[in-house]
Amino acid sequence: MTLQKNEIKGIVIKSTGSWYRVRAENNTEVFEARIVGKFRLQNMVLTNPVAVGDEVMMQLERGDWLIKKILPRRNYVARQSPRQKHQLHLLAANIEQTILFVTIVEPMLKVGFIDRFLLMTEPQNIPTIIVFNKSDLFSKSKEGRQFFENISNIYQKIGYETIALSSVSGEGIATLRQLLKDKTTLIAGQSGVGKSSAINAIEPTLNLRTGEISDYSGKGQHTTTFAEMHPLSFGGFLIDTPGIKTLAFNNLEALDVAQNFREFFELSSDCKFGGSCLHRNEPQCAIKNALTEGGVAESRYQSYLQILEEIEKQNYWELHKDF
Ligand code: GDP
Ligand code: ZN
């Protein structure tokens, strides 16, 4: 690509919504830039048109760097905006994998959250690894360890890698480093699951602020209010994201959900209604059969039904808003 005068190609490493930090492609020089114009995705308005990981063209105009163009995204992770349900919020773009942090205790696991998260990465075919963090806590009891094995199995069986991790005992830290090495990884989770502590264990120089108030000096520490890409000393980049409270799917249709529960999709060719089966009351449904035979996990099916119901409820109010 030939660059115009005063033009730089870069990669967005931090996005606050009003300004963007961009690292030049050819060196480590960093710029603060703004955007001009409107950008859309899936026909929906974006709360943040430019995401961390985006490759952009910037131009210097009257002393300000302006993002003029976003290069085509190889992929992206987008969620329904928590504040404006008709808008999408981009978590990151151009990533190679995602790591979802969850806990089994402290805080207690919400299995449905895993399924919701996977519904964000699956449409883009982004590999997702599930980290069961604070393993020092759930490993204390036989029941805790058994619970981990059971839940791990559900996701491993359908092709998601899982690991037990603890920044207290050190379990899994070496494995996680290996997984991150030389890749661009989005790391996400609900707040309090120990994501920052784990990142600090992997890369101490980042010195991310953690939940321990007594440890917090307020000096020289990052906060995770906005997504930010950090280079890893052993190779690769990590995109840390703010804690997610809930995930809703106003942007999806019921059939999108069916197609992105990967094991449902795989089985759906055996449903009487094939690709149009919603796996609820339809006759001869392969998913419902697999459910009774134990091939499909009950918890996955329950998450699925709940998401469908939410989408339908939203559509219902939408249809009747002028009634
Ligand atoms: P974040 O909100 O996901 O970034 O979570 P933090 O890293 O701030 O951790 C939240 C709380 O969990 C803090 O009190 C940490 O000390 C604690 N914590 C983090 N990792 C572990 C762990 O592996 N084991 C235990 N027992 N506690 C942890
Ligand atoms: Zn079906």
Residue 254 CA to residue 65 CA, distance in Å, equals 42
Considering the entire predicted model, what is its pTM? 0.92
Give the pLDDT score at 193.
96
Cα(302) to centroid(ligand 2), Å: 14
Question: What is the mean pLDDT of the segment spanning 45-49?
Answer: 81
Question: What is the mean pLDDT of the segment spanning 52-67?
Answer: 93
Q: Is 103 in the pocket of ligand 1 (CB under 6 A)?
A: no
pLDDT digits (tens, 9 = 90+) for 155-185: 999 999 999 999 999 999 999 999 999 999 9
Residue 317 CA to residue 323 CA, distance in Å, equals 10
Question: What is the mean pLDDT of the segment spanning 218-244?
Answer: 82
pLDDT digits (tens, 9 = 90+) for 260-310: 999 999 999 999 999 999 999 999 999 999 999 989 999 999 999 999 999
pLDDT digits (tens, 9 = 90+) for 17-40: 778 999 999 878 999 999 876 666
Q: Which atom of ligand 1 is nearest to the CA of 200?
A: 7
Give the pLDDT score at 42.
64
Give the pLDDT score at 17.
72
Tell which residue, 130, 71, 72, 63, has the closest CA to residue 97: 130
Closest residue by Cα to atom 12, ligand 1, is 194
Give the pLDDT score at 291.
96
As a whole number of Å, the end-to-end CA separation of the chain is 54
Which position has the token pair 């603060």? Answer: 32
Q: Tell me how far apart the 2 most distant CA atoms of the chain are, in Å.
A: 67
pLDDT digits (tens, 9 = 90+) for 67-112: 988 999 999 999 988 788 788 889 999 999 999 999 999 999 999 9
Residue 199's alpha-carbon distances to 53, 145, 232, 316, in angstroms, are 19, 23, 10, 42
Which of 106, 132, 210, 212, when mutated, tests ligand 1's pocket best, judged by the most ligand atoms within 8 Å of its CB? 210
Q: Which atom of ligand 1 is nearest to the CA of 195?
A: 3
Tell which residue, 186, 178, 197, 182, has the closest CA to residue 229: 186
Identify which has the larger pLDDT, 168 or 219.
168
Q: Is 241 in the pocket of ligand 1 (CB under 6 A)?
A: no
Ligand nearest to the CA of 276: 2
- Residue 322's pLDDT band, with cuts at 50, 70 and 90, is confident
SS (H, E, C) the chain: CCCCCCEEEEEEEEECCCCEEEEECCCCCEEEEEECCCCEECCEEECCCCCCCCEEEEEEECCEEEEEEECCCCCEEEEECCCCCCEEEEEEECCCEEEEEEECCCCCCCHHHHHHHHHHHHHHCCCEEEEEECHHHHCCCHHHHHHHHHHHHHHHHCCCEEEECCCCCCCCHHHHHHHHCCCEEEEEECCCCCHHHHHHHHCHHHCECCCCHHHCCCCCCECCCCCEEEECCCCCEEEECCCCCCCCCCCCCHHHHHHHCHHHHHHHHHCCCHHHCCCCCCCCCHHHHHHHHCCCCHHHHHHHHHHHHHHHHHHHHHHCCCC
Give the pLDDT score at 43.
67
Ligand nearest to the CA of 304: 2
Q: Is 166 in the pocket of ligand 1 (CB under 6 A)?
A: yes
Give the pLDDT score at 102.
98
Cα(211) to centroid(ligand 1), Å: 6
Closest residue by Cα to atom 27, ligand 1, is 134
Ligand nearest to the CA of 221: 1
Closest residue by Cα to atom 22, ligand 1, is 134
Identify which has the larger pLDDT, 2 or 311.
311
Closest residue by Cα to atom 24, ligand 1, is 134
Give the pLDDT score at 47.
80
Q: Which atom of ligand 1 is nearest to the CA of 212?
A: 14
Identify which has the larger pLDDT, 127 or 322.
127
Cα(310) to centroid(ligand 1), Å: 31
Q: Is 167 in the pocket of ligand 1 (CB under 6 A)?
A: yes
R_g of the chain computed on alpha carbons: 21
Which of 135, 165, 197, when mutated, tests ligand 1's pocket best, judged by the most ligand atoms within 8 Å of its CB? 197
Give the pLDDT score at 215.
40
Cα(177) to centroid(ligand 1), Å: 18
Cα(195) to centroid(ligand 1), Å: 7
Q: Is 193 in the pocket of ligand 1 (CB under 6 A)?
A: yes
Give the pLDDT score at 38.
66
